Every structure is written in structure tokens, then in C-alpha cells.
Copies of this chain bind each other. A is one copy, B any other.
Amino acid sequence: MKNSNQRNLILDIVNNSHNHPTADIVYAIAKDSMPNISLGTVYRNLNLLVELGQIKKIAIYNGQDRFDKTITHHHHLVCIKCGRTFDILLEDKDELCNVIEKSTGHTIITNDLVFKGICKDCKKEER
């Protein structure tokens, strides 16, 4: 594997984001400093960085995938009002997967769940 400025830039952008950017958003930011970077390059490198374990992909159903600099185990919540993605950090380790594995005999690989809901802020505005 060879070094590339594009890949370094893409990793920097994700690492400096605080809002789980989509490939599109990474692409838009990347173009500021590298105007003719290609969207395909952004996708390819984001997925490569996921494979290398340097970032995580948040698999969003019915929408664009998002990318996360935080690679430790945690879940996500997507707000159906504002569309933002929030981290869900549980203090105690998940029991749900253990319970399921024991009662079914299957092995669970996904540990990152994506919930849909309404975030704290949007709940305030509803009143």
C-alpha cells in the first residue's frame, strides 16, 4: 500500500469532524484544499480506512452512510426530525447480544446498532 495525499486528507477530515460526516460532506470539505479530488476516491478511501480499522462506518438505512472517527464500541441514534446522528455510549456493557446469542445459538457480529428516534433538542421544539 502506497501513501497518498488524498487518503491523508480524508482521514484528517473525519478526525476533525464532530458530526459523523457522509461521503458527500467529506468530499465537499476535501475540495477546498484539493479542488479536483474525485468522489470515487473519497468513497474508496473511506472504505479502506474502515477496513484498516482507523475509522468506522455507520450504516444508515435509507440514507447516506456516515463515518465516525470514534472506533471504540458504541451505538448511534439517528433523529428522524433533524437527521443528525448521535453517539450512544452505554456505561455498562451490552447484555442484549449475550442474551440473544445464548437463547438462539447464532453469533452476532454487529455490535453497532443504529436506532431511529427523536433527539433531545427536537423534543424540546415539539412543545
User: A residues touching B (Cβ–Cβ < 8 Å)?
Assistant: 59-62, 75, 77, 79-80, 86, 88, 90-91, 94-97, 99-100, 103-110, 113, 115-120, 123
Contact = CB atoms under 8 A, between A and B. Distances in A.
A60 to B, nearest CB: 8
9 contacts: A77-B104, A77-B106, A90-B99, A90-B100, A90-B103, A105-B120, A106-B119, A108-B116, A108-B117
Nearest to A78: B110
Contacts of A94: 96
Taken together, the copies of this chain in the complex come to 2
A94 B110 CA distance: 18
Nearest to A101: B117
A106 B117 contact: yes
A contact patch SS = mixed
Contact of A104 (B61, B97, B120): B120
B109 A116 contact: yes
Nearest to A62: B59
